């Protein structure tokens, strides 16, 4: 191993990598004892993640140089393990490490329900390797090494998706996931090959000036499709809502919280830092994909009743919001408006971090619900707030954060995105300004639909009466699980209340890439985040607003106490119109809750309903009514199914005409291939 500049964060990073490896092997060594293995492996992961946090915080805030570590250089060309740790990497490593700390703490409790039932050692081995592979994706400085890490990440996550492999749908989900992710990887591979053929190097730090314009455009499209598949943008999102629910919840939290963000990292690393944004249409296409993903993602989430599928569709939505920011940034950079570019990319990176926190937390919350009730279907829940008060409070915090409601962190990044869009309207040419205002509309619609969706999620599963016996027996989850989620919730609140502190960090990352810092125009210290155009009125201060809200509440309590006297409360049943036996079946269900929107947006869902009524003597009192409603996944039906049909018929033809099974035919193919290659060699 040869380390060029051994600064302290380099050491810390190497320590983190080593510790993740150690955690993986510790899990294998202690495979016999489930409990010990789980605790040891997770504790090592936590320590390693702390090293990661330390390394990236030092990198972002203090060190301005780039750390380059050459771990292994082989004599075989191109295969060298080189690490490049700059501020962009550090930012994503920070996201990863923060989430890993919380998820690992959570896992100590969560995995306990696997004890004696499943191979905990294998799970922890895969878990640690998964984290390690993501870490390596973020810090590799060589396209081939990046590619290996990327593949490792895909494979390990595949094994984690199919970990509970006895369910057929999990196997199917895993299969779809591995196919989709490899289609994406194929596009990346082509892009890397183009990169090599023009520059003669796989080095990501190299210059891209040798690549001509049209090749850059092709590379951009390839990167967009390749990384877009990993990020789960519409229309290549179909693996996401299947794979995330199949995986164990702590793994879903990592997958949704950070794995799909590696695609954002890839876009920034390859398109922004390597290719440099030159054409406006790059940004426009990213913006359009962002708008579509944001709106359709949340629209489909609204129809889901499986908690984890619902959350997975929200990941599509949030990736869309991140891409809206990124698209505006790329448009602005292509037009040499570096200030706006920096603002928009700051918004998008901050949203990346925020989404890591609240979506990770929500998946952990879903895991807690599943741990306590053994169901993911919210139609079977209800009234959990009384059984699991702490989990309920934490999930409420995350729900508020994801709906961008003050004073949580989601609002801050959405506000910055709105401001970037607003700033993009004014100088925008015809077309870009209209696109910007449509993005504003899309963002507002997505925000309101997300609120509807999380009211449904929280209201149906935690409030009201319990809908099944599973809830009656539910108990509060182990304390480590709540600690893991609690840290995330506190961070959500901290970013929401003191945004400038965090924007400062993100700004350092962005100014490294774009060359313009926006922090000088952000005034007001830790409390007030001013709109960075130095217009004093254009400001928000979540802390002051929270203070105002609390103040008004206290005032209201005080005034009401004076006027109305003591608070007298009577407990009584819910109003039942005199029917006197209101039960849980008469509550609104999740299906009922989303019905108005299902009808309004029926063009998206194409809902079908079947009602089966079993008649009895009187038609007013049927013995049973079955109501079944199903929505259609239009992308699968109208986009994937035709492609599959064509592929199938093609492969059937190939089977009969080309793949004849005759050994002579195959020899002829080889012969022809050799001849053609030799001819090519002679002619070109």
Partner 1 sequence: MSDFLDVLSVLILLSSFILMANKRIKSYIQTFRIQSALIALTAGIMGIDILSKEGRFDVLIVCVIIIAMKVIYIPHLLNKAYTNVEYKIEKDFFLNIPILIFVCCMIVVFCYFSISNTGGINLGIINLRVVNSVSLILIGLFFMISRKKAIGQIIGFLVIENGLFITAMLATQGMPFIVDIGIFIDMLTAVLILGIMVFKINEKFDSIDMNELKNLRG
Partner 2 sequence: MANVLYAVIQIFVIIMLAPLVNGIIKKVKAFTQKRKGAPVLQMYFDLLKLIKKSVVVSDVSSWIFKVTPYIVFSSAVAAALLVPVTTMIMPVGFAGDIILMVYILALGRFFMMLAALDTGSTFGGMGASREAMISSLIEPSILITLFTVALIPNSTSVYQIMGSMKAADFPLIHPVYILTFIAMLVIIIAETSRIPVDDPATHLELTMVHEAMILEYSGRNLALIELGAAVKQLVFITLLVNIFIPHDQFISIAGIGAVAISLLIYLIKVIFVAVVIAIVEVSTVKLRLFSIPNIAALAFILSFLGFLQYFILGR
- Site residues (CB under 8 A) for partner 1, limited to 480-509: none
Instruction: Figure out which of the listed residues 195, 272, 597, 604 binds partner 2, where binding follows CB under 8 A.
Output: 597
Name the segment binding partner 2 (CB under 8 A); options: 18-26, 92-100, 590-598, 665-673. Answer: 590-598
Between CA 23 and CA 36 the distance in angstroms is 12
Classify the phi-psi angles of 277: left when phi > 0, otherwise alpha if psi is within -120 to 50, otherwise beta: beta
- Residue 431 binds what, of partner 2, partner 1, none (CB under 5 to 8 Å, by partner type)? partner 1
Residue 426 lies near partner 1 (rule: CB under 8 A): no
C-alpha distances in angstroms, 222 versus 140, 144, 204, 212, 226?
Answer: 20, 16, 16, 15, 6
Instruction: Figure out which of the listed residues 36, 179, 210, 560 binds partner 2, where binding follows CB under 8 A.
Output: 560
Between CA 675 and CA 667 the distance in angstroms is 12
CB of 423 to partner 1, least distance (A): 21
Residue 607 lies near partner 2 (rule: CB under 8 A): no
C-alpha distances in angstroms, 174 versus 125, 161, 201, 310, 556?
Answer: 19, 6, 34, 18, 54
Reduced to 3 states, what is the DSSP secondary structure of residue 548? helix
Instruction: Figure out which of the listed residues 62, 210, 434, 665 binds partner 1, where binding follows CB under 8 A.
Output: 434
Please check whether residue 503 is in contact with residue 623, taking contact to mean a CB–CB distance below 8 angstroms: no
Residue 498 lies near partner 2 (rule: CB under 8 A): no
Task: Give the x/- contact pattern for partner 2 in 568-587, rule: CB under 8 A.
Answer: xxxxxxxx------x-x-xx
Name the segment binding partner 2 (CB under 8 A); options: 168-176, 193-201, 445-453, 612-620. Answer: 445-453
CA dihedral 674, 676, 679, 684 (to 10 degrees): -120
Name the segment binding partner 2 (CB under 8 A); options: 149-157, 305-313, 558-566, 609-617. Answer: 558-566
Instruction: Figure out which of the listed residues 594, 604, 605, 631 binds partner 2, where binding follows CB under 8 A.
Output: 594
Residue 658 lies near partner 1 (rule: CB under 8 A): no
CB closer to partner 1, 173 vs 284: 284
Site for partner 1 in 346-365 (CB under 8 A): none
CB of 441 to partner 1, least distance (A): 11
Instruction: Figure out which of the listed residues 210, 469, 548, 613 binds partner 2, where binding follows CB under 8 A.
Output: 548
Size of the site for partner 1 (CB under 8 A): 4
CB of 456 to partner 1, least distance (A): 23
Strands (E), 573-648: 608-614, 624-630
Burial 635-662 (b: 16+ CB within 10 A, else e): beeeeeeeeeeeeeeeeeeeeeeeeeee
Site for partner 2 in 403-432 (CB under 8 A): 403-406, 411, 415, 418-419, 422, 425-426, 430
Between CA 472 and CA 666 the distance in angstroms is 65
Name the segment binding partner 1 (CB under 8 A); options: 113-121, 220-228, 428-436, 445-453. Answer: 428-436
CB of 496 to partner 2, least distance (A): 11
The β-bridge relationship of strands 80-85 and 67-73 is antiparallel
CB of 291 to partner 1, least distance (A): 15
CA 492 to chain centre: 16
- Residue 578 binds what, of partner 2, partner 1, none (CB under 5 to 8 Å, by partner type)? none
Phi and psi angles of residue 44, each rounded to the nearest 5 degrees, phi first: -65, -40
Prior bond of 407 cis (ω within 30°): yes
Residue 673 lies near partner 1 (rule: CB under 8 A): no
Name the segment binding partner 1 (CB under 8 A); options: 148-156, 328-336, 427-435, 481-489. Answer: 427-435
CB of 592 to partner 2, least distance (A): 7
Phi and psi angles of residue 525, each rounded to the nearest 5 degrees, phi first: 65, -140
C-alpha distances in angstroms, 58 versus 9, 90, 262?
Answer: 7, 9, 21
Name the segment binding partner 2 (CB under 8 A); options: 281-289, 504-512, 555-563, 638-646. Answer: 555-563
CB of 605 to partner 1, least distance (A): 14
Reduced to 3 states, what is the DSSP secondary structure of residue 476? coil
C-alpha distances in angstroms, 539 versus 183, 322, 416, 516?
Answer: 45, 22, 11, 21
Reduced to 3 states, what is the DSSP secondary structure of residue 609? strand
For the record, the structure tokens of 343 come out as: 């603002």
Name the segment binding partner 1 (CB under 8 A); options: 199-207, 430-438, 461-469, 641-649. Answer: 430-438
Residue 442 lies near partner 2 (rule: CB under 8 A): yes
CB of 198 to partner 1, least distance (A): 36
CB of 371 to partner 2, least distance (A): 21
CB closer to partner 1, 200 vs 431: 431
CB closer to partner 1, 76 vs 430: 430
Reduced to 3 states, what is the DSSP secondary structure of residue 611? strand
Reduced to 3 states, what is the DSSP secondary structure of residue 625? strand
Name the segment binding partner 2 (CB under 8 A); options: 187-195, 212-220, 335-343, 539-547. Answer: 539-547
Residue 431 lies near partner 1 (rule: CB under 8 A): yes
The β-bridge relationship of strands 539-540 and 608-614 is unpaired
Instruction: Figure out which of the listed residues 452, 489, 493, 495 binds partner 2, where binding follows CB under 8 A.
Output: 452
CB closer to partner 1, 440 vs 539: 440
Burial 101-127 (b: 16+ CB within 10 A, else e): bbbbbbbbbbbbbbeeebebbebbbbb
- Residue 119 binds what, of partner 2, partner 1, none (CB under 5 to 8 Å, by partner type)? none
Reduced to 3 states, what is the DSSP secondary structure of residue 276? coil
Task: Give the x/- contact pattern for partner 2 in 48-87, rule: CB under 8 A.
Answer: ----------------------------------------
Between CA 368 and CA 481 the distance in angstroms is 7
Task: Give the x/- contact pattern for partner 2 in 462-491, rule: CB under 8 A.
Answer: -xxx--------------------------
Residue with tokens 């029917």, as numbered in its chain: 579
CB closer to partner 2, 515 vs 524: 524
Between CA 83 and CA 271 the distance in angstroms is 19
Please check whether residue 38 is in contact with residue 120, taking contact to mean a CB–CB distance below 8 angstroms: yes
Residue 603 lies near partner 1 (rule: CB under 8 A): yes
Reduced to 3 states, what is the DSSP secondary structure of residue 595? helix
- Residue 603 binds what, of partner 1, partner 2, none (CB under 5 to 8 Å, by partner type)? partner 1
Sign (positive/negative) of CA torsion 464, 242, 146, 125?
positive
Residues that bind partner 1 (CB under 8 A): 430-431, 434, 603
């Amino acid at each position: 191993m040869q380390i060029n500049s051994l600064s302290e964060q380099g050491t810390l990073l190497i320590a983190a990598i080593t510790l993740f490896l150690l955690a993986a092997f510790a899990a294998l060594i202690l495979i016999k004892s489930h409990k010990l293995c789980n605790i040891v492996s997770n504790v090592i992961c936590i320590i390693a993640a702390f090293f990661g946090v330390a390394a990236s915080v030092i990198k972002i805030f203090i060190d301005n140089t780039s750390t380059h570590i050459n771990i292994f250089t082989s004599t075989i060309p191109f295969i060298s393990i080189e690490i490049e740790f700059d501020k962009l990497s550090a930012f994503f490593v920070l996201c990863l490490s923060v989430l890993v700390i919380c998820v690992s703490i959570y896992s100590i409790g969560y995995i306990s329900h696997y004890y004696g039932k499943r191979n905990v050692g294998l799970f922890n081995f895969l878990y640690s390797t998964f984290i390690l592979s993501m870490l390596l994706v973020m810090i590799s400085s060589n396209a081939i090494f990046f590619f290996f890490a990327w593949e490792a990440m895909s494979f390990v996550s595949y094994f984690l998706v199919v970990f509970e492999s006895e369910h057929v749908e999990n196997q199917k989900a895993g299969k779809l996931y591995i196919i989709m992710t490899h289609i994406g990887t194929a596009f990346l591979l082509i892009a890397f090959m183009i990169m090599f053929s023009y520059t003669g190097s796989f080095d990501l730090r190299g210059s891209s000036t040798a690549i001509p314009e049209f090749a850059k455009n092709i590379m951009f499209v390839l990167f967009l499709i390749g990384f877009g598949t990993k990020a789960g943008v519409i229309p290549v999102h179909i693996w996401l809502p299947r794979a995330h629910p199949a995986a164990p919840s702590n793994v879903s939290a990592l997958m949704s919280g950070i794995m799909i963000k590696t695609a954002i990292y890839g876009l920034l690393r390859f398109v922004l830092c390597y290719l440099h944004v030159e054409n406006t249409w790059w940004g426009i296409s990213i913006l359009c994909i962002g708008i579509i993903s944001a709106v359709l993602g949340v629209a489909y989430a609204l129809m889901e009743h499986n908690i984890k599928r619902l959350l997975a569709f929200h990941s599509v939505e949030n990736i869309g919001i991140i891409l809206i920011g990124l698209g505006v940034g790329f448009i602005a950079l292509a037009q040499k408006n570096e200030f706006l570019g920096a603002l928009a990319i700051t918004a998008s990176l901050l949203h990346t971090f925020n989404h890591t926190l609240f979506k990770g937390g929500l998946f952990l919350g879903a895991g807690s619900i599943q741990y306590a009730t053994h169901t993911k279907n919210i139609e079977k829940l209800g009234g959990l707030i009384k059984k699991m008060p702490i989990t309920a409070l934490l999930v409420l915090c995350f729900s508020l954060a994801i709906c961008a409601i003050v004073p949580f962190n989601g609002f801050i990044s959405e506000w910055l995105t709105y401001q970037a869009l607003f700033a993009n309207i004014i100088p925008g040419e015809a077309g870009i300004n209209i696109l910007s205002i449509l993005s504003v509309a899309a963002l507002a619609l997505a925000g309101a639909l997300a609120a509807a969706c999380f009211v449904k999620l929280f209201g149906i599963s935690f409030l009201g009466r319990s809908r099944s016996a599973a809830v009656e027996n539910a108990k509060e989850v182990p304390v480590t699980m709540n600690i893991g989620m609690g840290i995330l919730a506190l961070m959500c609140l901290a970013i929401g209340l003191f945004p400038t502190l965090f924007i400062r960090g993100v700004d350092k990352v962005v100014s490294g890439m774009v060359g313009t810092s926006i922090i000088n125009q952000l005034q007001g210290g830790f409390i007030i985040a001013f709109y960075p155009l130095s217009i004093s009125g254009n400001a928000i201060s979540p802390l002051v607003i929270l203070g105002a809200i609390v103040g008004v509440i206290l005032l209201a309590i005080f005034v009401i106490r004076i006027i109305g006297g003591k608070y007298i409360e009577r407990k009584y049943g819910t109003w039942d119109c005199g029917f006197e036996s209101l039960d849980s079946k008469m509550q609104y269900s999740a299906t009922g809750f989303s019905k108005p929107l299902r009808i309004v947006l029926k063009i998206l869902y194409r809902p079908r309903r079947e009602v089966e009524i079993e008649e009895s003597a009187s038609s007013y009192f049927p013995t049973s009514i079955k109501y079944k409603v199903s929505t259609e996944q239009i992308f699968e039906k109208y986009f994937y199914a035709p492609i599959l049909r064509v592929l199938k018929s093609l492969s059937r033809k190939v089977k009969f005409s080309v793949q004849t099974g005759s050994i002579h035919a195959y020899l002829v193919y080889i012969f022809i291939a050799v001849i053609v290659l030799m001819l090519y060699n002679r002619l070109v």
